[in-house]
Chains A and B, each alone.
Chain A
Amino acid sequence: MKSSAGARILAWVLSALVAAAPAATCAAADFDFWYAHGGIYAQAIESMCANFNAASLQDHVHCFPQGTYEQTLRKTVAAYRAGRQPALVEIYDIGSADMLLSGAVYPVDTLMQAMGHPIDASDYLKGIRRFYATENGRLLSQPFSASTLVLYANRQKLTAVGVDHLPQTWEAFEAAMEALHAHGKSCPAVSDYTPWKMLEQINAVQGAPIASANNGHEGLQARYEFADGVHRRFMNDVARWYSRGLLVPAIMTRANDQTLAFADGECAMSVDATGAYAIVKKAGLVDAEVGLLPVYAGTKRYGTTIGGSSLWVLKGQSASVYPAVARFLAYLHDPRQQLMFARRTGYLPLTHEAEEILTTAPDAEPDAIREGLASLELPNNDYNAGTRLGFTPLFRLIWQDEVQRALGGKETMDTALEHAQVRGNRLLERFQTTYIDAPRAEDGP
């Protein structure tokens, strides 16, 4: 009698637990899309989702913001391991190495081919295609948001101190900062001191390697090799600008954010992503002039690289979902959607067709996009297609650690960069060991 009462309670607890698990039923052509943006960027994405759903009779995409890029990748990993992954997810550029080796991906080129919406990789702008393509030129994900680095300057403030032309070189950039400083401007230029801007883009525009094996594009044997050469020169300049109060850390500004500190007029110059343009424009407080990223005087200028994200289709959905995903991807690929997204956010158009419409359109395209596209079109060598290296998110933290220690006077900048390189190479070795026997991705859902 007693034990049967106990068993009843046990049964009740168990049934409560079972009932708590969310029901996993949905109509055939419904699927989830996880994206990694907030604010005006999220609004633009939500309106693309809404328009697709309104125009489509049979398909329905559920678009969910999942926080930052890091959070989205983390949640995707967790969801995939639990078997509850979305059909489509936006993953940042430096997550590409993990995604390509994950075995969790249904390659976009195969999917689009199979569903009757083939996409020619050569449609994409060179800088974008090279960044995401595999060694044999395939696109396993669909490029989505792409941004590159440009120089923003507050025209009014520069004119006031007698700088009539945007600095084209770092020497001129330093002279402009000094002029602003001499006229009592408390924030001549602002930076958040992140490696995407200070390492990846600087080395790209100077055509200098970050890692061997073509910056990792040729395989897992790549190792870092940035600690000498142009990066060392640039970071020593940065340290000098920092100590003289010329290049102010974003965290020390009132806005507490690089883009906002320029947009609110506090800081006169900012080397920032084209994607920051929407915020500068929307704030409407400064007369922003946009130009190419400076280079060192007397050196050859190469193309900058991109940053941003691409869309990955995940395995493990029911077969009826993939045609709908393909239609949504084709819809996003459409030049009209690319242009809408570019105009609202400052992200770059992705394909030649979209670029041409944008550059020939009667309404002036945003300056940042024009300069960003020009910057991508410059001559290339092996080192302007970004990096394809494992544990890049951790490496970026290591680079920041070491650079902050150097700026704080705990070690010299040269030592800091050497430490970052050694620590980074330890990560690359481990990444190689981890994946050395990993089964290659199969080409299918």
Chain B
Amino acid sequence: MKSSARFHGHWIPLALGLPQLVLIALFFYWPTLKAFWWSLHLVCPFGNCSTFVGLGNYTRELTDSSFYAALRTTALFAAFGVSLSIAVALFLAAMVELHRRTGGLFRYLLIWPYAVAGSVLGVILKVAASPSIGPLGYLNTLWPGFWQPYLNGTQSMLMVVFAFAWTQIPFNFIVFVAALRAIPAEYLAAAAIDGADPVRRFIDIQLPMLKPQLFFVATINLIESFTNSFAIVDTMTQGGPGRATNILAYKIYTDGFIGLDLSGSSALSMMLMLLVFAACFVQFFVFERRARQEG
């Protein structure tokens, strides 16, 4: 495609972009503005009163220990979730690349789970992890009382981290496979002639060349873990037990939608949005710099 291809005039491109712009305005800009407005007020759910409190909602949340608890849980969830999804995807991609002939079949098989929605996956894993009827419940017949994800905070965190990684691995896998394929075979062949085994070749050649993709995938996964992890937590643990899996996205939901605390939950969503923006900016910044260096 020629990069110089362009429409003339202003109307056609605007009209072509309009549906998308309307959608974004309706479902992103407008709600964001509204949430920002609410976050500066104490609002009644039915809209019959609203008192301007400036940054009052923010200072209240920032002095509330449950906010920091949610932040800590989010950080823990993101760190483990992102590293697990990257590590497993990387391992699978490297394995598939090792045997390019048989790899094709596995490539398809490993991409499929990407099509499963978070809440559906939550339900499936909830049954699988059920301490009384699920396959993991078998552990309880070996060691009674061992597997109790709904009572034990660590186990429930493990469960949602695993579920999150499950949703991310296929996407990461696709990116890694594509990136590995782009590495010239000569490099690997030359290293092999010098006596480097597959592990050494992976560490010294493939991994360094995957750096941009690793960074890209990590950012995407991080943002997903801030936002789209909601469905998993909602179906599997509802933030429990004892708020062990109460990540920020889920706290926003319970405060706003169950508690009808529109002000507090708006202030929290603005802060979550800042976190996501920060992650995006870091990524853009690093990519720009790399592009400049390479260009």
Contacts and interface: CB of A to CB of B under 8 A. Distances in A.
A426 B130 CA distance: 36
A405 B258 CA distance: 21
Contact of B133 (A13, A70, A254, A408): A254
Interface stretch (B15-23, B193-201, B221-229): B15-23
A434 B151 contact: no
Contact of B9 (A2, A80, A253, A393): A2
B293 interface: no
Interface stretch (A289-297, A341-349, A352-360, A435-443): A435-443
B277 interface: no
Interface string B3-22: 00000111110111011001
A77 B38 CA distance: 15
Given A13-B15, A256-B130, A401-B243, A407 B151 contact: yes
B151 to A, nearest CB: 6
Interface in A3-26: 3, 5-7, 9-10, 13, 17
Contacts of B113: none
A101 interface: yes
Interface string B136-175: 0000000000001011110000000000000000000000
A194 B46 CA distance: 27
Given A81-B46, A434-B42, A438-B49, A408 B241 contact: yes
B46 A77 contact: yes
A394 B257 contact: no
Interface in A399-441: 400-402, 404-405, 407-408, 410, 423, 426-427, 430, 433-435, 437-439
Contact of B258 (A70, A103, A439): A70
Contacts of B153: 408, 410
A160 B195 CA distance: 76
Interface centre among B45, B60, B260 (most CB of A within 10 A): B45
A101 B44 contact: yes
Contacts of A196: none
Contacts, number: 130
A310 B33 CA distance: 35
A178 B11 CA distance: 80
B261 interface: yes
Nearest to A7: B11
A102 B151 contact: no
Nearest to B149: A251
Given A2-B9, A391-B259, A400-B240, A434 B49 contact: yes
A324 interface: no
Contact of B132 (A13, A102, A253, A407): A253
Contact of B51 (A104, A394, A434): A434
Contact of A410 (B14, B242, B259): B242
Interface in A46-95: 70, 73-74, 77, 80-81
B192 to A, nearest CB: 53
Contacts of B59: none
Contacts of A437: 49, 51
Contacts of B44: 101-103, 434-435, 438
B259 A433 contact: no
A287 interface: no
A426 B57 CA distance: 13
A78 B254 CA distance: 16
Contacts of A7: 11
Contacts of B12: 2, 5-6, 9
A427 B133 CA distance: 39
B295 interface: no
B260 A102 contact: no
Nearest to B241: A404
B184 interface: no
A81 B47 contact: yes
B18 A13 contact: yes
B33 to A, nearest CB: 15
A433 B60 CA distance: 13
Contact of A252 (B48, B148, B261): B148
Contacts of B97: none
Contacts of A393: 258-260
A397 interface: yes
B86 interface: no
A17 B25 CA distance: 14
B174 to A, nearest CB: 34
B48 A102 contact: yes
Nearest to B238: A397
Given A249-B150, A256-B130, A439 B48 contact: yes
A401 B46 contact: no
B43 interface: yes
A134 to B, nearest CB: 17
A98 interface: yes
Contacts of B148: 252
Contact of A3 (B11, B22, B131, B150): B11
A435 B260 CA distance: 13
A403 to B, nearest CB: 8
A439 B48 CA distance: 7
Contacts of B150: 249, 251-252
B166 to A, nearest CB: 22
Contacts of A13: 15, 18-19, 22
Given A2-B12, A251-B151, 14 more contacts: A9-B15, A9-B16, A9-B18, A74-B257, A74-B260, A80-B46, A102-B46, A252-B132, A252-B148, A256-B133, A391-B260, A394-B259, A400-B240, A404-B241
17 contacts: A2-B9, A7-B11, A9-B18, A10-B15, A13-B22, A102-B45, A102-B46, A251-B151, A252-B131, A252-B132, A394-B261, A397-B254, A401-B246, A405-B242, A423-B66, A433-B51, A439-B49
Interface of B: 8-12, 14-16, 18-19, 22, 42-49, 51, 60, 64, 66, 130-133, 148, 150-153, 240-243, 246, 254-255, 257-261, 263-264
Interface of A: 2-3, 5-7, 9-10, 13, 17, 70, 73-74, 77, 80-81, 98, 101-104, 249, 251-254, 256, 391, 393-394, 397, 400-402, 404-405, 407-408, 410, 423, 426-427, 430, 433-435, 437-439
Please give me the 10 A-B residue pairs with the lowest Cβ-Cβ distance, nearest first.
A6-B11, A394-B259, A405-B242, A103-B48, A404-B242, A102-B46, A438-B49, A9-B15, A404-B241, A251-B150
